[in-house]
Structure 1
Amino acid sequence: MKDLKLTQIITAMVTPFNEQDEVDTQRLNVLLEYLLKNGSQGILINGTTGEGPNLTAAERNEMIQKTIKIIDDRVPVIAGVGSNSTRATVTDVQALTADSGLTALLIVVPYYNKPDQNGMMAHFIKVADASNLPIIIYNIPGRTGVKMEVPTILKLAQHPNIIGVKNCTGTADLAMLIDKSPTEFLVYSGEDEDALEVKILDGAGIISVASHIFGMQMKQMYQDIDCGKVDPAGKIMRAILPGIKALFSLPSPAPVKAALNRRNVFVGEPRLPILPLSKEQQKDLGKNLDN
Protein backbone atom coordinates (compact mmCIF):
# COMPACT_ATOMS: atom_id res chain seq x y z
CA MET A 1 0.00 0.00 0.00
CA LYS A 2 2.81 2.39 0.93
CA ASP A 3 4.62 1.62 -2.32
CA LEU A 4 1.49 2.17 -4.39
CA LYS A 5 0.98 5.65 -2.96
CA LEU A 6 4.13 6.69 -4.79
CA THR A 7 3.32 4.73 -7.94
CA GLN A 8 1.72 6.94 -10.57
CA ILE A 9 2.45 5.06 -13.81
CA ILE A 10 1.60 1.37 -13.73
CA THR A 11 2.04 -0.46 -17.01
CA ALA A 12 -0.60 -3.06 -17.81
CA MET A 13 2.03 -5.30 -19.36
CA VAL A 14 1.63 -7.55 -22.38
CA THR A 15 2.53 -11.22 -22.01
CA PRO A 16 5.45 -12.08 -24.29
CA PHE A 17 5.08 -15.22 -26.39
CA ASN A 18 7.59 -17.01 -28.59
CA GLU A 19 6.96 -18.27 -32.11
CA GLN A 20 5.40 -21.43 -30.66
CA ASP A 21 2.80 -19.34 -28.78
CA GLU A 22 4.38 -20.16 -25.42
CA VAL A 23 5.15 -17.72 -22.60
CA ASP A 24 8.73 -16.66 -23.21
CA THR A 25 10.62 -15.90 -20.00
CA GLN A 26 13.70 -14.56 -21.78
CA ARG A 27 11.55 -12.05 -23.63
CA LEU A 28 9.81 -11.29 -20.33
CA ASN A 29 13.13 -10.32 -18.77
CA VAL A 30 13.97 -7.99 -21.67
CA LEU A 31 10.49 -6.46 -21.63
CA LEU A 32 10.53 -5.76 -17.89
CA GLU A 33 13.97 -4.15 -17.99
CA TYR A 34 12.88 -2.03 -20.95
CA LEU A 35 9.74 -0.87 -19.10
CA LEU A 36 11.63 0.01 -15.92
CA LYS A 37 14.08 2.10 -17.96
CA ASN A 38 11.24 3.84 -19.78
CA GLY A 39 8.97 5.35 -17.16
CA SER A 40 7.07 2.42 -15.63
CA GLN A 41 6.80 2.73 -11.85
CA GLY A 42 4.71 -0.40 -11.35
CA ILE A 43 3.73 -3.50 -13.32
CA LEU A 44 0.34 -5.14 -13.77
CA ILE A 45 0.48 -8.71 -15.09
CA ASN A 46 -2.23 -11.10 -16.29
CA GLY A 47 -4.63 -8.28 -17.00
CA THR A 48 -6.62 -7.55 -20.13
CA THR A 49 -3.55 -6.31 -22.00
CA GLY A 50 -1.63 -9.30 -20.64
CA GLU A 51 -4.25 -11.59 -22.20
CA GLY A 52 -4.97 -13.04 -18.77
CA PRO A 53 -8.20 -14.77 -19.87
CA ASN A 54 -6.23 -16.52 -22.64
CA LEU A 55 -3.51 -17.82 -20.32
CA THR A 56 -3.73 -21.17 -18.61
CA ALA A 57 -3.62 -21.29 -14.81
CA ALA A 58 -0.07 -22.62 -15.06
CA GLU A 59 0.94 -19.75 -17.35
CA ARG A 60 -0.59 -17.12 -15.06
CA ASN A 61 1.29 -18.61 -12.13
CA GLU A 62 4.50 -18.67 -14.15
CA MET A 63 4.03 -15.01 -15.06
CA ILE A 64 3.66 -14.13 -11.37
CA GLN A 65 6.70 -16.11 -10.25
CA LYS A 66 9.01 -14.99 -13.06
CA THR A 67 7.95 -11.33 -12.89
CA ILE A 68 8.45 -11.17 -9.12
CA LYS A 69 11.89 -12.72 -9.48
CA ILE A 70 12.98 -10.34 -12.25
CA ILE A 71 11.54 -7.21 -10.61
CA ASP A 72 13.23 -8.12 -7.30
CA ASP A 73 11.30 -5.54 -5.22
CA ARG A 74 12.25 -2.61 -7.46
CA VAL A 75 8.63 -1.61 -8.15
CA PRO A 76 5.18 -2.84 -7.06
CA VAL A 77 3.71 -5.77 -8.97
CA ILE A 78 -0.06 -6.27 -9.25
CA ALA A 79 -1.72 -9.39 -10.66
CA GLY A 80 -5.01 -9.43 -12.52
CA VAL A 81 -7.44 -11.96 -11.07
CA GLY A 82 -11.17 -12.51 -11.32
CA SER A 83 -13.96 -13.93 -13.40
CA ASN A 84 -17.74 -13.89 -13.59
CA SER A 85 -17.82 -16.46 -10.77
CA THR A 86 -17.47 -15.25 -7.20
CA ARG A 87 -16.58 -18.74 -5.98
CA ALA A 88 -13.84 -19.16 -8.59
CA THR A 89 -12.47 -15.69 -7.86
CA VAL A 90 -12.31 -16.45 -4.12
CA THR A 91 -10.42 -19.66 -4.88
CA ASP A 92 -7.96 -17.77 -7.08
CA VAL A 93 -7.27 -14.98 -4.60
CA GLN A 94 -6.81 -17.40 -1.72
CA ALA A 95 -4.02 -19.08 -3.67
CA LEU A 96 -2.05 -15.81 -3.62
CA THR A 97 -0.50 -14.44 -0.45
CA ALA A 98 1.88 -11.71 0.60
CA ASP A 99 4.65 -14.31 0.40
CA SER A 100 4.11 -14.40 -3.37
CA GLY A 101 5.76 -10.97 -3.61
CA LEU A 102 2.70 -9.27 -5.07
CA THR A 103 1.65 -5.85 -3.83
CA ALA A 104 -2.05 -6.11 -4.68
CA LEU A 105 -4.62 -7.86 -6.86
CA LEU A 106 -6.71 -6.24 -9.59
CA ILE A 107 -10.20 -7.77 -9.55
CA VAL A 108 -12.45 -7.18 -12.53
CA VAL A 109 -16.14 -6.40 -12.09
CA PRO A 110 -17.99 -9.68 -12.86
CA TYR A 111 -18.75 -9.97 -16.57
CA TYR A 112 -21.28 -11.87 -18.69
CA ASN A 113 -23.65 -12.46 -15.75
CA LYS A 114 -24.46 -8.73 -15.60
CA PRO A 115 -25.05 -8.43 -11.84
CA ASP A 116 -26.78 -5.36 -10.44
CA GLN A 117 -25.06 -2.96 -8.04
CA ASN A 118 -25.96 -5.05 -4.99
CA GLY A 119 -24.60 -8.16 -6.68
CA MET A 120 -21.34 -6.38 -7.53
CA MET A 121 -21.01 -5.19 -3.96
CA ALA A 122 -21.64 -8.65 -2.53
CA HIS A 123 -19.09 -10.11 -4.95
CA PHE A 124 -16.33 -7.69 -3.96
CA ILE A 125 -17.01 -7.95 -0.23
CA LYS A 126 -16.82 -11.74 -0.47
CA VAL A 127 -13.57 -11.59 -2.43
CA ALA A 128 -11.97 -8.88 -0.27
CA ASP A 129 -12.84 -10.76 2.91
CA ALA A 130 -11.18 -13.89 1.51
CA SER A 131 -8.07 -12.25 0.06
CA ASN A 132 -4.70 -12.17 1.78
CA LEU A 133 -3.68 -9.27 -0.45
CA PRO A 134 -5.19 -5.80 -0.96
CA ILE A 135 -7.78 -5.48 -3.72
CA ILE A 136 -8.09 -2.90 -6.50
CA ILE A 137 -11.45 -2.80 -8.30
CA TYR A 138 -11.31 -2.92 -12.10
CA ASN A 139 -14.33 -1.08 -13.45
CA ILE A 140 -14.40 -1.38 -17.24
CA PRO A 141 -17.98 -1.57 -18.56
CA GLY A 142 -16.81 -1.59 -22.17
CA ARG A 143 -15.54 -5.12 -21.58
CA THR A 144 -17.74 -6.42 -18.77
CA GLY A 145 -21.09 -5.17 -20.07
CA VAL A 146 -21.97 -3.61 -16.71
CA LYS A 147 -20.89 -0.42 -14.99
CA MET A 148 -20.11 -0.21 -11.30
CA GLU A 149 -21.61 3.14 -10.35
CA VAL A 150 -19.70 5.70 -8.31
CA PRO A 151 -21.87 5.28 -5.15
CA THR A 152 -21.15 1.53 -5.20
CA ILE A 153 -17.41 2.12 -5.46
CA LEU A 154 -17.56 4.65 -2.64
CA LYS A 155 -19.28 2.13 -0.39
CA LEU A 156 -16.70 -0.54 -1.24
CA ALA A 157 -13.93 1.99 -0.58
CA GLN A 158 -14.82 1.73 3.11
CA HIS A 159 -13.72 -1.92 3.16
CA PRO A 160 -10.25 -2.15 4.77
CA ASN A 161 -8.97 -4.57 2.13
CA ILE A 162 -10.22 -2.64 -0.92
CA ILE A 163 -7.56 0.00 -1.50
CA GLY A 164 -8.34 1.46 -4.90
CA VAL A 165 -10.01 1.38 -8.28
CA LYS A 166 -8.90 1.28 -11.89
CA ASN A 167 -11.77 3.21 -13.41
CA CYS A 168 -12.62 3.41 -17.10
CA THR A 169 -15.79 5.50 -17.11
CA GLY A 170 -14.54 9.00 -17.83
CA THR A 171 -13.29 12.10 -16.06
CA ALA A 172 -16.58 13.07 -14.40
CA ASP A 173 -16.64 9.79 -12.48
CA LEU A 174 -12.91 10.08 -11.72
CA ALA A 175 -13.48 13.54 -10.25
CA MET A 176 -16.32 12.34 -8.03
CA LEU A 177 -14.37 9.31 -6.85
CA ILE A 178 -11.30 11.40 -6.01
CA ASP A 179 -13.44 13.98 -4.20
CA LYS A 180 -15.67 11.61 -2.23
CA SER A 181 -13.50 8.56 -1.44
CA PRO A 182 -11.33 8.18 1.68
CA THR A 183 -7.98 9.96 1.49
CA GLU A 184 -6.06 6.68 1.36
CA PHE A 185 -8.18 5.24 -1.47
CA LEU A 186 -6.25 5.08 -4.75
CA VAL A 187 -8.12 6.28 -7.84
CA TYR A 188 -6.39 5.29 -11.07
CA SER A 189 -7.66 5.88 -14.56
CA GLY A 190 -7.56 2.89 -16.87
CA GLU A 191 -7.96 5.06 -19.96
CA ASP A 192 -4.75 6.46 -21.41
CA GLU A 193 -6.61 9.40 -22.92
CA ASP A 194 -7.40 10.50 -19.34
CA ALA A 195 -3.79 10.32 -18.13
CA LEU A 196 -3.43 14.10 -17.86
CA GLU A 197 -6.86 14.72 -16.35
CA VAL A 198 -6.58 12.11 -13.59
CA LYS A 199 -3.31 13.64 -12.42
CA ILE A 200 -4.64 17.20 -12.50
CA LEU A 201 -7.71 16.01 -10.56
CA ASP A 202 -5.30 14.70 -7.89
CA GLY A 203 -5.87 11.03 -8.62
CA ALA A 204 -3.30 8.31 -7.98
CA GLY A 205 -2.26 8.08 -11.63
CA ILE A 206 -2.71 5.83 -14.64
CA ILE A 207 -2.77 2.09 -15.20
CA SER A 208 -1.61 2.31 -18.76
CA VAL A 209 -1.16 0.44 -22.02
CA ALA A 210 0.42 3.38 -23.83
CA SER A 211 3.26 3.54 -21.28
CA HIS A 212 4.79 0.60 -23.16
CA ILE A 213 5.59 3.18 -25.84
CA PHE A 214 5.18 6.60 -24.21
CA GLY A 215 6.35 5.88 -20.66
CA MET A 216 9.06 8.52 -20.57
CA GLN A 217 6.73 11.18 -21.95
CA MET A 218 4.13 10.29 -19.30
CA LYS A 219 6.75 10.41 -16.58
CA GLN A 220 7.86 13.88 -17.69
CA MET A 221 4.25 15.01 -17.95
CA TYR A 222 3.57 13.97 -14.37
CA GLN A 223 6.79 15.61 -13.16
CA ASP A 224 5.74 18.82 -14.89
CA ILE A 225 2.36 18.76 -13.14
CA ASP A 226 4.04 18.15 -9.78
CA CYS A 227 6.15 21.27 -10.43
CA GLY A 228 3.10 23.33 -11.40
CA LYS A 229 4.06 23.35 -15.08
CA VAL A 230 0.63 22.62 -16.49
CA ASP A 231 1.24 24.10 -19.95
CA PRO A 232 4.27 21.88 -20.72
CA ALA A 233 2.33 18.88 -19.39
CA GLY A 234 -0.56 19.69 -21.69
CA LYS A 235 1.84 19.99 -24.62
CA ILE A 236 3.17 16.49 -23.93
CA MET A 237 -0.34 15.06 -23.74
CA ARG A 238 -1.33 16.69 -27.01
CA ALA A 239 1.78 15.28 -28.66
CA ILE A 240 1.19 11.67 -27.60
CA LEU A 241 -2.61 11.56 -28.05
CA PRO A 242 -2.48 10.54 -31.75
CA GLY A 243 -0.15 7.68 -30.85
CA ILE A 244 -2.41 6.63 -27.98
CA LYS A 245 -5.37 6.53 -30.34
CA ALA A 246 -3.34 4.44 -32.79
CA LEU A 247 -2.53 1.90 -30.06
CA PHE A 248 -6.27 1.34 -29.62
CA SER A 249 -7.26 1.53 -33.29
CA LEU A 250 -7.54 -2.28 -33.44
CA PRO A 251 -8.33 -4.88 -30.78
CA SER A 252 -5.83 -4.67 -27.94
CA PRO A 253 -3.13 -5.82 -27.35
CA ALA A 254 -2.40 -6.39 -31.06
CA PRO A 255 -1.26 -2.79 -31.79
CA VAL A 256 0.94 -2.40 -28.70
CA LYS A 257 2.55 -5.80 -29.34
CA ALA A 258 3.25 -4.74 -32.92
CA ALA A 259 4.70 -1.44 -31.67
CA LEU A 260 7.01 -3.23 -29.22
CA ASN A 261 8.15 -5.71 -31.86
CA ARG A 262 8.86 -2.73 -34.11
CA ARG A 263 11.15 -1.38 -31.37
CA ASN A 264 12.96 -4.72 -31.23
CA VAL A 265 11.42 -5.46 -27.85
CA PHE A 266 10.08 -8.77 -29.09
CA VAL A 267 6.86 -9.96 -27.47
CA GLY A 268 5.36 -12.13 -30.22
CA GLU A 269 1.78 -11.99 -31.44
CA PRO A 270 -1.50 -11.99 -29.51
CA ARG A 271 -3.48 -15.18 -29.08
CA LEU A 272 -6.72 -15.84 -30.83
CA PRO A 273 -9.38 -14.56 -30.92
CA ILE A 274 -7.21 -11.40 -31.24
CA LEU A 275 -5.49 -11.31 -34.62
CA PRO A 276 -2.01 -9.85 -35.19
CA LEU A 277 -1.73 -6.76 -37.35
CA SER A 278 -1.38 -7.27 -41.07
CA LYS A 279 1.66 -5.75 -42.83
CA GLU A 280 -0.51 -2.87 -44.03
CA GLN A 281 -1.86 -2.28 -40.53
CA GLN A 282 1.67 -2.37 -39.12
CA LYS A 283 2.71 0.24 -41.67
CA ASP A 284 -0.21 2.50 -40.71
CA LEU A 285 0.56 2.06 -37.02
CA GLY A 286 4.20 3.00 -37.60
CA LYS A 287 3.20 6.19 -39.42
CA ASN A 288 0.91 7.23 -36.56
CA LEU A 289 3.52 6.50 -33.90
CA ASP A 290 6.25 8.35 -35.79
CA ASN A 291 4.24 11.53 -36.34
Structure 2
Amino acid sequence: MNDTELSEEIGLSPEQRKTILVAMQKYRDASMKGFRAKPGERISHEEMKELMDTAVRDAKEVLSEDQQSKLMEQVAKKRAELVARPRTRAYSSEQMQEMSKLSQIQSKLMRLSFDTGLADELELTAEQRVELSEAQREYRSAYEELRKSGERVDIGQRNKVLQELVMSSQTILTPEQSEKLSLEIKIEQLKRKHGDEFAMINGLAEDFGLDDKAQVKLSEKIEEVRKEYYDDWIELKKKSMKSIINELPRKHREEVEAAVRKFVEEDPRDKMNRFRFVAPSPAKK
Protein backbone atom coordinates (compact mmCIF):
# COMPACT_ATOMS: atom_id res chain seq x y z
CA MET A 1 0.00 0.00 0.00
CA ASN A 2 2.75 2.44 0.91
CA ASP A 3 5.77 0.98 -0.89
CA THR A 4 5.70 2.51 -4.40
CA GLU A 5 9.07 0.91 -5.17
CA LEU A 6 7.59 -2.53 -4.48
CA SER A 7 4.61 -1.68 -6.70
CA GLU A 8 7.02 -0.91 -9.53
CA GLU A 9 9.05 -4.09 -8.93
CA ILE A 10 6.03 -6.35 -9.40
CA GLY A 11 4.72 -4.20 -12.28
CA LEU A 12 1.49 -2.85 -10.84
CA SER A 13 -0.55 -0.66 -13.16
CA PRO A 14 -2.26 2.46 -11.73
CA GLU A 15 -5.62 0.65 -12.05
CA GLN A 16 -4.36 -2.40 -10.14
CA ARG A 17 -2.86 -0.25 -7.42
CA LYS A 18 -6.12 1.69 -7.05
CA THR A 19 -8.14 -1.56 -6.75
CA ILE A 20 -5.80 -2.82 -4.03
CA LEU A 21 -5.94 0.49 -2.14
CA VAL A 22 -9.76 0.48 -2.31
CA ALA A 23 -9.88 -3.09 -0.95
CA MET A 24 -7.61 -2.20 1.97
CA GLN A 25 -9.48 1.05 2.63
CA LYS A 26 -12.73 -0.91 2.95
CA TYR A 27 -11.00 -3.22 5.44
CA ARG A 28 -9.71 -0.28 7.48
CA ASP A 29 -13.11 1.43 7.50
CA ALA A 30 -14.91 -1.76 8.59
CA SER A 31 -12.38 -2.59 11.29
CA MET A 32 -12.36 0.96 12.70
CA LYS A 33 -16.15 1.01 12.75
CA GLY A 34 -16.11 -2.22 14.75
CA PHE A 35 -13.34 -0.90 17.01
CA ARG A 36 -15.37 2.22 17.89
CA ALA A 37 -18.69 0.43 18.31
CA LYS A 38 -20.58 0.33 21.58
CA PRO A 39 -19.90 -2.52 24.01
CA GLY A 40 -21.63 -5.67 22.81
CA GLU A 41 -21.59 -4.48 19.19
CA ARG A 42 -17.87 -4.76 18.48
CA ILE A 43 -16.69 -7.23 15.90
CA SER A 44 -14.95 -10.41 17.06
CA HIS A 45 -11.43 -11.56 16.18
CA GLU A 46 -12.97 -14.07 13.77
CA GLU A 47 -14.88 -11.31 12.00
CA MET A 48 -11.71 -9.21 11.83
CA LYS A 49 -9.87 -12.12 10.23
CA GLU A 50 -12.71 -12.60 7.75
CA LEU A 51 -12.55 -8.91 6.81
CA MET A 52 -8.79 -9.14 6.24
CA ASP A 53 -9.12 -12.36 4.22
CA THR A 54 -11.74 -10.68 2.02
CA ALA A 55 -9.53 -7.64 1.47
CA VAL A 56 -6.52 -9.82 0.58
CA ARG A 57 -8.62 -11.95 -1.76
CA ASP A 58 -10.01 -8.87 -3.53
CA ALA A 59 -6.50 -7.44 -3.86
CA LYS A 60 -4.95 -10.66 -5.18
CA GLU A 61 -7.67 -11.09 -7.80
CA VAL A 62 -6.27 -8.16 -9.79
CA LEU A 63 -2.72 -9.59 -9.80
CA SER A 64 -1.45 -11.89 -12.53
CA GLU A 65 0.25 -15.16 -11.56
CA ASP A 66 3.62 -13.62 -12.37
CA GLN A 67 2.88 -10.60 -10.15
CA GLN A 68 1.73 -12.81 -7.29
CA SER A 69 4.92 -14.85 -7.59
CA LYS A 70 7.07 -11.68 -7.50
CA LEU A 71 5.10 -10.39 -4.53
CA MET A 72 5.64 -13.61 -2.56
CA GLU A 73 9.36 -13.44 -3.35
CA GLN A 74 9.51 -9.94 -1.92
CA VAL A 75 7.51 -11.02 1.16
CA ALA A 76 9.96 -13.88 1.77
CA LYS A 77 12.88 -11.47 1.33
CA LYS A 78 11.41 -8.99 3.86
CA ARG A 79 10.84 -11.77 6.38
CA ALA A 80 14.42 -12.99 6.00
CA GLU A 81 15.67 -9.44 6.61
CA LEU A 82 13.57 -9.17 9.77
CA VAL A 83 14.90 -12.48 11.09
CA ALA A 84 18.49 -11.41 10.42
CA ARG A 85 17.98 -8.00 12.04
CA PRO A 86 19.26 -7.71 15.64
CA ARG A 87 16.36 -8.07 18.02
CA THR A 88 15.37 -5.01 19.97
CA ARG A 89 15.52 -5.34 23.70
CA ALA A 90 12.29 -6.61 25.25
CA TYR A 91 10.90 -4.57 28.11
CA SER A 92 8.96 -5.97 31.03
CA SER A 93 5.37 -4.96 31.72
CA GLU A 94 6.60 -3.45 35.01
CA GLN A 95 8.99 -1.15 33.13
CA MET A 96 6.26 -0.13 30.70
CA GLN A 97 3.81 0.57 33.52
CA GLU A 98 6.43 2.58 35.38
CA MET A 99 7.17 4.66 32.28
CA SER A 100 3.45 5.30 31.74
CA LYS A 101 2.99 6.38 35.34
CA LEU A 102 6.08 8.61 35.37
CA SER A 103 5.13 10.16 32.01
CA GLN A 104 1.72 11.10 33.36
CA ILE A 105 3.35 12.75 36.38
CA GLN A 106 5.79 14.57 34.11
CA SER A 107 2.94 15.83 31.94
CA LYS A 108 1.09 17.13 35.00
CA LEU A 109 4.20 18.81 36.36
CA MET A 110 4.78 20.47 32.99
CA ARG A 111 1.24 21.88 33.09
CA LEU A 112 2.00 23.65 36.34
CA SER A 113 4.31 26.05 34.51
CA PHE A 114 1.54 27.40 32.24
CA ASP A 115 -1.81 26.23 33.67
CA THR A 116 -2.68 29.04 36.06
CA GLY A 117 -5.91 27.32 37.11
CA LEU A 118 -4.09 24.18 38.25
CA ALA A 119 -1.33 26.28 39.82
CA ASP A 120 -3.94 28.23 41.80
CA GLU A 121 -5.58 25.00 42.95
CA LEU A 122 -2.26 23.90 44.43
CA GLU A 123 -1.56 27.44 45.68
CA LEU A 124 1.82 27.56 43.93
CA THR A 125 3.99 30.63 44.28
CA ALA A 126 5.62 32.30 41.28
CA GLU A 127 8.99 31.08 42.56
CA GLN A 128 7.79 27.46 42.68
CA ARG A 129 6.48 27.66 39.12
CA VAL A 130 9.81 29.02 37.90
CA GLU A 131 11.69 26.25 39.71
CA LEU A 132 9.37 23.61 38.22
CA SER A 133 9.96 25.07 34.75
CA GLU A 134 13.72 24.80 35.34
CA ALA A 135 13.33 21.18 36.44
CA GLN A 136 11.44 20.48 33.21
CA ARG A 137 14.18 22.17 31.19
CA GLU A 138 16.81 19.99 32.86
CA TYR A 139 14.71 16.89 32.14
CA ARG A 140 14.41 17.82 28.45
CA SER A 141 18.15 18.44 28.23
CA ALA A 142 18.96 15.10 29.86
CA TYR A 143 16.53 13.26 27.58
CA GLU A 144 17.95 14.99 24.52
CA GLU A 145 21.43 13.84 25.51
CA LEU A 146 20.16 10.26 25.60
CA ARG A 147 18.71 10.65 22.12
CA LYS A 148 21.94 12.12 20.76
CA SER A 149 23.77 8.94 21.66
CA GLY A 150 22.64 7.60 18.26
CA GLU A 151 20.98 4.50 19.71
CA ARG A 152 17.42 3.81 20.70
CA VAL A 153 16.72 5.27 24.14
CA ASP A 154 16.63 2.45 26.69
CA ILE A 155 13.42 2.45 28.72
CA GLY A 156 15.40 2.00 31.93
CA GLN A 157 17.45 5.11 31.18
CA ARG A 158 14.33 7.09 30.33
CA ASN A 159 12.61 5.99 33.53
CA LYS A 160 15.69 7.04 35.50
CA VAL A 161 15.58 10.54 33.98
CA LEU A 162 11.85 10.77 34.67
CA GLN A 163 12.38 9.64 38.26
CA GLU A 164 15.01 12.36 38.75
CA LEU A 165 12.52 14.95 37.47
CA VAL A 166 9.80 13.71 39.83
CA MET A 167 12.16 13.65 42.81
CA SER A 168 13.48 17.16 42.13
CA SER A 169 9.92 18.44 41.69
CA GLN A 170 8.88 16.95 45.03
CA THR A 171 11.53 19.03 46.78
CA ILE A 172 9.97 22.14 45.21
CA LEU A 173 6.39 21.33 46.25
CA THR A 174 5.17 21.24 49.84
CA PRO A 175 3.88 17.89 51.18
CA GLU A 176 0.31 19.23 50.92
CA GLN A 177 0.83 20.31 47.29
CA SER A 178 2.36 16.95 46.40
CA GLU A 179 -0.61 15.15 47.95
CA LYS A 180 -3.09 17.30 45.98
CA LEU A 181 -1.18 16.75 42.75
CA SER A 182 -1.03 12.98 43.35
CA LEU A 183 -4.80 12.92 43.85
CA GLU A 184 -5.31 14.90 40.61
CA ILE A 185 -3.18 12.38 38.71
CA LYS A 186 -4.92 9.40 40.30
CA ILE A 187 -8.37 10.76 39.43
CA GLU A 188 -7.35 11.37 35.81
CA GLN A 189 -6.01 7.81 35.55
CA LEU A 190 -9.20 6.34 37.02
CA LYS A 191 -11.47 8.40 34.77
CA ARG A 192 -9.47 7.26 31.75
CA LYS A 193 -9.63 3.64 32.89
CA HIS A 194 -13.27 3.45 33.97
CA GLY A 195 -14.95 6.00 31.66
CA ASP A 196 -16.30 8.85 33.76
CA GLU A 197 -16.65 10.23 37.29
CA PHE A 198 -19.45 7.82 38.18
CA ALA A 199 -17.57 4.65 37.26
CA MET A 200 -14.33 6.16 38.58
CA ILE A 201 -15.65 5.57 42.10
CA ASN A 202 -15.10 1.86 41.50
CA GLY A 203 -11.39 2.62 41.17
CA LEU A 204 -11.30 4.67 44.35
CA ALA A 205 -13.21 1.96 46.21
CA GLU A 206 -10.54 -0.59 45.35
CA ASP A 207 -8.52 0.89 48.23
CA PHE A 208 -11.39 0.71 50.73
CA GLY A 209 -11.12 -3.00 51.52
CA LEU A 210 -14.72 -3.81 50.56
CA ASP A 211 -15.69 -7.45 50.39
CA ASP A 212 -16.93 -8.98 47.11
CA LYS A 213 -20.60 -8.51 47.98
CA ALA A 214 -20.13 -4.83 48.83
CA GLN A 215 -18.12 -4.24 45.65
CA VAL A 216 -20.82 -5.80 43.48
CA LYS A 217 -23.54 -3.79 45.26
CA LEU A 218 -21.60 -0.55 44.78
CA SER A 219 -20.93 -1.32 41.11
CA GLU A 220 -24.57 -2.09 40.42
CA LYS A 221 -25.67 1.13 42.13
CA ILE A 222 -23.17 3.17 40.15
CA GLU A 223 -24.39 1.69 36.86
CA GLU A 224 -28.03 2.29 37.84
CA VAL A 225 -27.51 5.94 38.84
CA ARG A 226 -25.18 6.59 35.94
CA LYS A 227 -27.72 5.32 33.39
CA GLU A 228 -30.52 7.39 34.95
CA TYR A 229 -28.33 10.50 34.88
CA TYR A 230 -27.37 10.22 31.23
CA ASP A 231 -30.88 9.23 30.14
CA ASP A 232 -32.31 12.26 31.97
CA TRP A 233 -29.54 14.49 30.63
CA ILE A 234 -30.30 13.52 27.03
CA GLU A 235 -34.05 14.06 27.50
CA LEU A 236 -33.41 17.47 29.10
CA LYS A 237 -31.18 18.42 26.17
CA LYS A 238 -33.91 17.50 23.68
CA LYS A 239 -36.58 19.33 25.67
CA SER A 240 -34.44 22.46 26.06
CA MET A 241 -33.53 22.60 22.38
CA LYS A 242 -37.16 22.08 21.40
CA SER A 243 -38.29 25.02 23.53
CA ILE A 244 -35.73 27.27 21.85
CA ILE A 245 -36.65 26.14 18.33
CA ASN A 246 -40.35 26.75 19.03
CA GLU A 247 -39.53 30.44 19.48
CA LEU A 248 -38.58 30.64 15.78
CA PRO A 249 -41.02 31.23 12.93
CA ARG A 250 -42.51 27.89 11.81
CA LYS A 251 -40.90 28.10 8.35
CA HIS A 252 -37.40 28.07 9.89
CA ARG A 253 -37.88 25.36 12.53
CA GLU A 254 -37.18 22.41 10.25
CA GLU A 255 -33.91 23.94 9.05
CA VAL A 256 -32.71 24.58 12.61
CA GLU A 257 -33.77 21.10 13.77
CA ALA A 258 -31.66 19.59 10.98
CA ALA A 259 -28.69 21.77 11.95
CA VAL A 260 -28.72 20.68 15.62
CA ARG A 261 -29.93 17.08 15.17
CA LYS A 262 -26.48 15.57 15.61
CA PHE A 263 -25.96 17.47 18.88
CA VAL A 264 -29.44 16.62 20.18
CA GLU A 265 -29.11 12.90 19.43
CA GLU A 266 -25.52 12.60 20.63
CA ASP A 267 -25.08 10.28 23.61
CA PRO A 268 -21.97 11.14 25.69
CA ARG A 269 -21.65 7.48 26.68
CA ASP A 270 -20.61 6.67 23.11
CA LYS A 271 -17.46 8.75 23.57
CA MET A 272 -16.36 7.16 26.81
CA ASN A 273 -13.32 4.97 27.17
CA ARG A 274 -13.99 1.69 25.36
CA PHE A 275 -12.37 -0.11 28.30
CA ARG A 276 -14.75 1.51 30.77
CA PHE A 277 -16.00 -0.42 33.75
CA VAL A 278 -18.62 -3.13 33.37
CA ALA A 279 -20.33 -4.17 36.57
CA PRO A 280 -19.32 -7.71 37.56
CA SER A 281 -21.99 -10.35 37.94
CA PRO A 282 -22.63 -11.57 41.47
CA ALA A 283 -20.77 -14.79 42.22
CA LYS A 284 -22.87 -17.89 41.84
CA LYS A 285 -23.45 -19.87 44.98
- Greater fraction of residues in helix: 2
Q: TM-score, normalised by structure 1?
A: 0.22
Q: TM-score, normalised by structure 2?
A: 0.22
Query: Greater CA radius of gyration, 1 or 2?
Result: 2
- Greater fraction of residues in strand: 1
Structure ranking higher on relative contact order (CA contacts 8 Å, 6+ apart): 1
